[in-house]
Amino acid sequence: MLQNSNLNAFLSRIWRANPVVVLMVGLCPVLAITTTAYNSIGLGAAVSFVLICSGLTISLIRKFVPNEIKIPASMVIIAFYTTFVDYFIQAYFIELSAYLGIFIPLIMANCLLLNSSEIFYSVKNSTTHSFLDAAGFSIGFSIVILLIGSLREILGSGAFMGQQLFQEPVNVMVLPAGGFLLIGILLGILNWFRSRFSEKNDK
């Protein structure tokens, strides 16, 4: 029974309660960085690492932290992992760091992380649950940004993973405005699908 509810929570983070498409948290990097698929894979990996590690650490030290300092404590933990990721990317993926720039430290202030750290504090069945929760969140997040990133790269620069596909692309898709437009249209299509399927289920 317990296993089942854990698994359900894990799966719901991917589709039913997807952080980006449904809950609308952690939007800033989604729009700014997903100009190419490579960038979005990098960002997804960074966010997943910070999310899972901080979730595990917070759920481990939860008992020792009094209520008044739980926000600063979780922020310090998240900031520690973010700094780690920042330096790691600067050292080993220098091209990626040129593109991601300020947005790697800004993972820290992502609403997604703060929201989930609240959950890690409140959840009763400790480490496994928070690990599954964080893993679900990060998988849902990575899938969505990978989708948006590859769409923007194909439409905006006429390429996929650096391979040129066609000439004279729609340049606006690389700009922030294009990101807004693309996510809006994507959400509209998702809504349409959802309403269609729920109608079918009713019948």
Residues 54-113 that bind another protein (CB under 8 A): 61, 64-69, 71-73, 75-80, 82-84, 86-88, 90-92, 94, 98-99, 101-102, 105-106, 108-111, 113
Residues touching another protein: how many (CB under 8 A)?
74
Burial category of 105 from C-beta neighbours within 10 Å (exposed 0-12, middle 13-18, buried 19 and up): middle
Q: 124: which DSSP letter? A: S
Minimum separation from the CB atom of position 67 to another protein (A): 4
* By the rule CB under 8 A, 3 interacts with another protein: no
* By the rule CB under 8 A, 33 interacts with another protein: yes
Site for another protein in 123-152 (CB under 8 A): none
Give phi and psi for 195, each to the nearest 5.
-65, -40
Minimum separation from the CB atom of position 140 to another protein (A): 12
Supply the DSSP string of 143-187, one letter for each residue. Answer: HHHHHHHHHHHHHHHSEETTEE--SS--GGGGSHHHHHHHHHHHH
Site for another protein in 148-167 (CB under 8 A): 157
Minimum separation from the CB atom of position 106 to another protein (A): 5
Strands 163-164 vs 159-160: parallel, antiparallel or unpaired: antiparallel
